[in-house]
């Protein structure tokens, strides 16, 4: 395998992947606008890649998703469609798309959620635009795989956290945002943090460094299958906040803003397929949180 393209190289997982694929092509958004058809087409035809790892996405927090629904749909639909289309047309035989567990139905009768349950209902309304854009990519990749008999697959990771670039800080996912809140409260001599909702929703959380290693193993093993990726933990927002506060060596109260939404109550996923193909030991949650906290404090 000679030439690998990684999109979204400035993101949490992309930054971690660079050490595993030091010779990969990792264009910046200034070098390649993934929503521009001509630019994407020319880039693929000029470079002739063997493998595409498509991480690029317009991602953000729950409140940012609610505020910018059209942006989350348009940007992600365009990127996914163009990158997949021109990857195939330029001769790329191997493609790995990175999705999200928010693509799963909001109302599920049995947990954890299996890959086969993807189309058993609509996603949570608060994330509908982003979730449907990402779910559509699963449909697109399967269509290419079955129509042309090529290695076009996707991974569905749970909530991620890790080191983010400066431009992503204002749109951080929950764990990163939680760490920023703890640091901000400490710096302002406050004895509390305030979180959205009531703290009851359940989530699985994975350190971005772990997911990068899993992507590397997936490609190294030459796998040709799509599956969920998550550790076994499934904690409430309140439980996680308490772990984070303790890990950051702080003594703070947790307050809740009940005027803000909880989001999806639970979306823990079945990882039987993942465990069948990759043997992996996840970084303990507190260890990952500590690493991020030490980077930003």
Residue numbers annotated as active site: 130
Beta strands 192-196 and 235-236 are unpaired
* d(C-alpha 181, C-alpha 5), whole Å: 35
Identify which of 237, 212, 227, 225 has the alpha carbon closest to the alpha carbon of residue 269. 227
Report phi then psi at 269, rounded to 5: -115, 150
DSSP label at residue 22: T
Strand partners, 95: 52, 152
Strand partners, 156: 228
* d(C-alpha 16, C-alpha 9), whole Å: 9
Instruction: Count the Cβ atoms, other than its own, within 10 Å of residue 204.
Output: 22
């Amino acid at each position: 395998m000679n030439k690998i393209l990684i999109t979204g190289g400035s993101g949490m997982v992309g930054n971690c992947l660079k050490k595993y694929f030091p010779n990969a092509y990792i264009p910046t958004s200034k070098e390649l606008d993934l929503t521009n058809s001509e630019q994407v087409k020319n880039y693929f035809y000029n470079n002739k890649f063997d493998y595409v790892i498509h991480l690029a996405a317009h991602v953000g927090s729950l409140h940012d998703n609610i505020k910018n629904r059209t942006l989350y749909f348009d940007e992600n639909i365009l990127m996914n469609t163009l990158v997949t289309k021109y990857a195939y047309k330029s001769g790329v035989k191997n493609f790995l798309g990175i999705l999200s567990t928010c693509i799963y139905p909001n109302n599920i009768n049995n947990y954890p959620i299996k890959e086969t349950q993807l189309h058993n209902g609509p996603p949570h309304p608060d994330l509908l635009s982003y979730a449907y854009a990402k779910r559509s990519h699963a449909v697109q990749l399967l269509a290419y795989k079955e129509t042309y008999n090529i290695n076009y697959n996707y991974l569905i990771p749970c909530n991620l956290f890790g080191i983010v670039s400066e431009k992503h800080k204002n749109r951080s996912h929950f764990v990163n945002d939680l760490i920023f809140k703890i640091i901000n409260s400490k710096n302002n001599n406050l004895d509390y943090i305030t979180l959205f909702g009531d703290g009851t929703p359940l989530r699985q959380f994975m350190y971005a460094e772990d997911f990068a290693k899993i992507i590397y193993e997936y490609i190294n093993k030459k796998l040709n299958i799509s599956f969920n990726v998550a550790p076994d933990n499934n904690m409430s927002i309140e439980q996680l906040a308490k772990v984070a506060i303790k890990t950051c060596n702080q003594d703070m109260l947790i307050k809740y803003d009940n005027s803000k939404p909880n989001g999806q109550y639970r979306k823990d996923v079945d990882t039987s397929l993942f465990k069948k193909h990759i043997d992996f030991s996840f970084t303990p949650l507190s260890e990952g949180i500590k690493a991020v906290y030490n980077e930003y404090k």
